[in-house]
Structure 1
Amino acid sequence: MKHIFSILIAVLFFSSPKAFAQDEELNTVVIVKDSTLLKPYTIDPLAPARAAFYSALVPGMGQIYNKKYWKLPLVYGGLAVSIYSYSFNNNKYHEYRDAYKDLLAGKPLTGKLEGVNADVLIRAQKFHQRNRDLSMLITVGIYILNIVDANVDAHLLQFNVNENLSLRPELQQNSIDYKHNLGLNLCLQF
């Protein structure tokens, strides 16, 4: 044990500092100048991956990382409703399944299921099982959508939007009859 500890300390102290450092090429933040306005803006190539990782770790963290706080109630609301639906349908499925097992064993049904026949119990089981499985798929879908949204939103935050590309409504006067015409002006400057 003493030898393993001493070997570990020797490796830590005598190894090169680059052995434990992060790769600097992957963590670079690129500063780009806008082609016409010459304003510098930064592009972080790892921001989308970081946002997706945060959302995969804790749903909604990618939206917080992107500063899109208004999306948090959508993420947590969707997850809460689908998880509640799963829990409700799972409980009902087990209730009807246990009642069906009791009916097959010859035990009398009590409570609200008293007088219910086997066919109704089977249909109720299938209904709640299908809804339970659908709720689980919806929960997984919302979770994946949360990750994809954080990734795409982080990509779009770095998108250059300036006055060189614009679409504006325009009112022009016709030179023949002097009436005003409404149109759209698409401006693309290089």
Structure 2
Amino acid sequence: MISIIIKVIKTLSSQVRDRGIYYVLLMNMSHIIGVLRGYFYKLLYLKNIKSSIYSLQSKSSIEIFNENSKVYIGKFVFIRKNVSIRIDFNGELSLGDNVFINDNCTINCVSKVSIGENTKIAPNVCINDHDHNFKYNSGDHLIRGNVVIGKNVWIGSNVVILMNTTIGDNAVIAAGSVVKGEVPPNTLFFNKREKSYKSILIQDENVYKAN
């Protein structure tokens, strides 16, 4: 606990030097409200959530639908606005220390999702450890897998991470990528894109027709 207090004091001192005391007060008021919201969800799901100090900002939510679901949240995890986290069945979600999740992200966990410490996730990222079982007529409508994201990973905006994906430490996932399978440590992952153009013929000033 003492180490946490020392880190908070050092961080505040640095922020005052860089931003000015007025803006630091405004910014940290938002953080304090986020921490209180985090504690609210911890109390709401007392059996399911084990956490240290973390911030859950406005319009973000954690929804747990099963008594067997587990959530582990490390120190100084920061979850920005309009993030949706859902855990069901025997799902186990783990967020390591200093994980940062930006606006409008979704995490859906029914099996296992693990995100290592110091990983940063940009806006509009979607992480799923399962898929819909559309091929077979069975009692379970889901196909389940795992998602394991290592330490110090950077995930760009609008990335989709699918079930049975492992991302190694220090990897960078380029914006707009769809990821499934294994991404080795210390690599940049991106989906190859090719631009294509098709000419158009102008018939009159208001009507366009493709060749």
TM-score under structure 2 normalisation? 0.21
Structure holding more helix per residue: 1
> Could you say which structure has the higher strand fraction?
2
The answer to which structure, 1 or 2, has the higher relative contact order (CA under 8 A, 6+ apart) is 1
* TM-score normalised by length of structure 1: 0.23
